[in-house]
Amino acid sequence: MTDSKYFTTTKKGEIFELKSELNSDKKEKKKEAVKKVIASMTVGKDVSALFPDVVNCMQTDNLELKKLVYLYLMNYAKSQPDMAIMAVNTFVKDCEDPNPLIRALAVRTMGCIRVDKITEYLCEPLRKCLKDEDPYVRKTAAICVAKLHDINASMVEDQGFLDQLKELLSDSNPMVVANAVASLTEINEASSSGQPLMELNASTINKLLTALNECTEWGQVFILDALSQYSPKDEREAQSICERITPRLAHANAAVVLSAVKCLMKFMELMVSDSEFVKNLSKKLAPPLVTLLSSEPEVQYVALRNINLIVQKRPDLLKHEMKVFFVKYNDPIYVKLEKLDIMIRLASEANIIQVLSELKEYATEVDVDFVRKAVRAIGRCAIKVETSAERCVSTLLDLIQTKVNYVVQEAIVVIKDIFRKYPNKYESIISTLCENLDTLDEPEARASMIWIIGEYAERIDNADELLESFLEGFHDENTQVQLQLLTAIVKLFLKRPTDTQELVQQDSDNPDLRDRGFIYWRLLSTDPGAAKEVVLAEKPLIAEETDLIEPTLLDELICHIASLASVYHKPPSAFVEGRTGLRRALPKTSGSDGESSGDNQQQAPQPTVIPNQDSLIPDLLNMDINAPPVIPQASQPAYSGGTLDLLGGGLDSLLGGGGADVGAAPAAPGVPPTATSSAGLLGDIFGIGSSSTPVYSPPKQVWLPANRGKGMEISGTFSRKNGNISMDLTLSNKAMQPISGFAIQLNKNSFGVTPAAPLNVAAPLAPNQSIDVSLSLSTNGPVQRMDPLTNLQVAIKNSVDVFYFATVMPIHIFFTEDGAMDKRVFLSTWKDIPSQNEVQFNIENINLNADGLSTTDGISNKLQSCNVFTIAKRNVEGQDMLYQSIKLTNGIWVLTELKVQPGNPTIVLSLKSRATEVAQGIFEAFDGILHS
């Protein structure tokens, strides 16, 4: 009897009966009971109440029963973590079992149980299994390391599992090598560092190539993918690798074939393009690609999408294989359309007659979408192969004569492009086109016909009448048609003014249309001659291939052949959320200058041009809110010794990553290392004692009102205390239901601000309740220039939704505690900065009689509480002058001068910095601190 009996509906009291059967002394009855439990679990019934009873069944020698119990455990361990601990001893014991199948099963199951408490017990058994004598156990353990890394990455690194994985690359068993490669690749892609874990050198590559011949097909795919990321040291090594990979082209599995093609395409870039080796390799690449088109339609489609990329990169590869891309009557529409696209790419003078014959046949098919694409393809062939243009136009005219509505409309659209490509050559057919005016009902076709009438108005006697027929329903037309009609009428007016006077005047609510109309009106009323030169100027010829993929993107996609990226024709970062890692690219061709390309590669990771803020919105929307925050490494001290260049780096250092070596201030004699010692020194020199002035923090503002936050209101401010920056939030629930599950993510910003810890909100936030939360921040995140400079885009997630808002951070939170500069260094630096970098502001309405501001010492103390350090002070003609230094978290220095005149409520602030972009923020910080 089959196992279907376990899925039949059972009577009441099922759980109770199963419980008694699971505790039965008879092994067969116990096995039957576990099968019933698994069957219930499979159809969606909750059998978690049987957890302890099923776990008790683990103590068995029966492999089938053990597998069933482990399957149950994997499913319910997450919901019953405390109960799952009961199974740990059995797991550990099974990892020592004489049977390798049981050892592998135990370590595999422990890796699949995503419970933190269990992962602690997994380390020792996993370490033993990675060195197990049986290759089956080793290969299972290798995959388990990747699963463990996904649960707890730091544990994998601390326990040395990555080093053990790398050792497995030298294993004698090819499947162990393949799984080690797969695991390392998976870990590498999940790693935030983006640094490759596998050191691909000649020795490692040789081991991988040896394993390639003997492992399973999926093992081969993993190894080929790893090989594709290797950069051979010279052309000879590239040729050697290609020779060993080439036999994989004959494999029955399409994934192996495409992975091999990817490797060969990459290594061919390192060889001289017209060498004998490349020619022979090109001949070997074509047959396997053609063979893929004999597979089922889904595989065909994937193959065609990859071939589309390959043909764009190397058109000669398949130039003799046009016939295999001819459409079959029973091909699905998605295959037909893809084949058409490749046919056009391969069209040349040698095969154009054959291609046109096929396309004309396709244009009589019944599938409307396919027919439209076929008609457009004829037009593209005319533009691509000049010698065929006349034949293509003749074919299009024949199709127009069929009077099939959608065929006629597509033909007119492509004929417009042919006129653009070959001006004054085929205008004799315009009369035929005009005969079909009444049948045009699609916006693109109507717009194309209007363009033709306007462009060739002098050749069409009744052009004004034809355009007038379009004007009758002007307000009902599509915007595209209205814009084209306006331009055509202006062209006609410039060519035949007397016929068009009435046509020019129309009214519209569309702003685009009105703006274009205003421009034309002003041109015509100001200088008709200039209008003629602008509107009737010669048009640039259109390109042969308008839908080619941009070269840089194409190179990246070639590196992703045999993956989803090659099917979507998009880089992985466009559709995989939270994807990190290095962007793949083809190596420089062998013909390029090695030295210059090397220099370029070295400079590439440090671009001086910061991406525009316009690109930030998609960044913010694609953020993985659920991901744990990246806890940055402690930053290196800014002082690193060397020559004095306190303000070197300028804006580049502000926006170039904030590293210690970029724009950081080197040590200078007398510059104190910490804030406490600097305060002491200043106290000795200037008589400033240690101040107990409270640290300034701006008042909280509403960042997210309740009406935008679906009941959640967020107010907040920023503060800096003892060198730590924090975002101080007040979360208010003004909705009717509790809110929970809070998480926060910050977008890239000018100072690299990122959460130093997760957002910790205790328990659900009840209705009409508010809670104050402080989020610790660091400045070691990714840097992106913002406008204004301290703008911060925030995403907050809760149980209701994800909400986005932006706020401006006060720049004083980036003033560091080690910003006190030596007097002599201050003086020389002030002189070194050009005078055009000096900016002056007036701080108005300062109450100098207020407590704490009545003396310059009081002003100094107040500013020093925010890490603005007074270096010197003097009195000049009754004015008190204070000289101060500020250091920002990214190593930029700002020098300031304050002029305070007794009785005058206006204080004059002058500041100098290599990065003048910070000036406005510094002024606002001083204004806020002194008014607080």
Find the radius of gyration of the CA atoms of the chain.
36
Residue 420 is predicted with a pLDDT of 83
The per-residue b/e assignment along 385-401, b for 16 or more CB within 10 angstroms, e otherwise, is beebbebbbebbeebbe
Alpha helices in 385-442 (DSSP H): 389-401, 405-421, 430-434
Q: Where are the domains of the chain?
A: 442-542, 701-809, 814-931
Instruction: Show contacts of 323-326: CB within 8 Å, 24+ apart.
Output: 324/290, 324/293, 325/293, 326/358
List, in sequence order, every residue forming a beta bridge with 875; answer none if it has no partner.
880
| Residue 163: CA count within 13 A, CB half-sphere | 6
Q: Are 229 and 266 in contact (CB under 8 A)?
A: no
Q: Name the fold adopted by 701-809.
A: Immunoglobulin-like (2.60.40)
List, in sequence order, every residue forming a beta bridge with 730; answer none if it has no partner.
715, 772
3-state secondary structure of 797: strand
Q: How far apart are CA 780 and CA 748, in angstroms?
A: 11
User: Do the first three CATH levels of 701-809 and 814-931 match, i.e. the same topology?
Assistant: no
Task: Place domain 814-931 in its CATH homologous superfamily.
Answer: TATA-Binding Protein (3.30.310.10)
pLDDT tens, 14-54? 777 777 777 777 777 878 888 888 888 887 787 777 877 77
Q: How far apart are CA 877 and CA 691, in angstroms?
A: 29
Q: How far apart are CA 786 and CA 117, in angstroms?
A: 43
Residue 622, exposed/middle/buried by CB under 10 A (0-12, 13-18, 19+)?
A: middle
The two tokens of residue 437 are: 């005016």
The per-residue b/e assignment along 227-261, b for 16 or more CB within 10 angstroms, e otherwise, is bbbbebeeeebbbbbbebbbebbebeebbbbbbbb
Torsion (CA) 430, 432, 438, 444 in degrees, nearest 10: -50
Q: How far apart are CA 745 and CA 619, in angstroms?
A: 11
Residue 193 is predicted with a pLDDT of 57
Residue 256 is predicted with a pLDDT of 92
Residue of 807, 804, 770 lying closest to 786 (CA atoms): 807
Q: How far apart are CA 664 and CA 678, in angstroms?
A: 19
Residue 4 is predicted with a pLDDT of 56
Torsion angles phi and psi, residue 702, rounded to 5: -75, 115
Residue 851 is predicted with a pLDDT of 56
Residue 724: how many CB atoms within 10 A of its CB? 13
Q: Are strands 879-887 and 791-797 parallel, antiparallel or unpaired?
A: unpaired
Measured CA distances, 398 to 360, 429, 432, 439 (Å): 9, 12, 11, 17
Cα angle 13, 18, 23 (rounded to 5 degrees) comes to: 135
Measured CA distances, 140 to 109, 110, 143, 320, 441 (Å): 10, 11, 5, 46, 63
The two tokens of residue 164 are: 């053990």
Which residues of the chain are under the pLDDT cut of 50? 1, 12, 580, 590-691
Residue 30: in which H helix or E strand, if any? helix 27-42
Residue 500 is predicted with a pLDDT of 61
